[in-house]
Amino acid sequence: MPFKLFYLSSYERCLKKLGSHERHIAGIVFLALKSYFEYGFSAKAQPYIFHHEHHSYRLVFKKLRDPIWEAYVEGKLRVLTCLEKGAHLLVFAGNHDQVRQFLKEQ
């Protein structure tokens, strides 16, 4: 059974703080994860190549620590998900340093 993908209000707040290019990348990460889950890939099926608007993106999706996972298609913007009962909840988006700070606060 494939995972489901949802986003939380904390993720929406993060998106509002991003620039337009970063929001675009976050949207690509969302679409790549959605496709990844729809095809039923496991986290061990790396890399996952996602095609969108005549471009190919390499999705990196890995577990950081229980229950937090990280996804990105370009090294600059990272999206964190929290795995709960078969669903990945999008909880945070930011650069590497912002992700580290977010994880310290958890």
| Residue pLDDT, tens place only, 26-84 | 999 999 999 888 887 766 666 788 999 999 999 999 999 999 999 999 888 999 999 99
Please count the CA atoms within 13 angstroms of the CA of 30 that sit on its side-chain side: 18
Say yes or no: domain 4-105 is CATH 3.30.2310.20: yes
- Residue, of 3 and 30, whose pLDDT is higher: 30
The whole-number pLDDT of residue 45 equals 62
3-class DSSP state of 104: helix
Q: Would you call 25 exposed, middle or buried from its count of C-beta atoms within 10 A (0-12, 13-18, 19+)?
A: buried
The residue extents of the domains of the chain are 4-105
Q: Would you call 72 exposed, middle or buried from its count of C-beta atoms within 10 A (0-12, 13-18, 19+)?
A: buried
pLDDT at residue 1 is higher than 80: no
3-class DSSP state of 63: strand
* The amino acid at 53: E
- Average pLDDT, integer, range 99-103: 94
Q: How far apart are CA 78 and CA 29, in angstroms?
A: 8
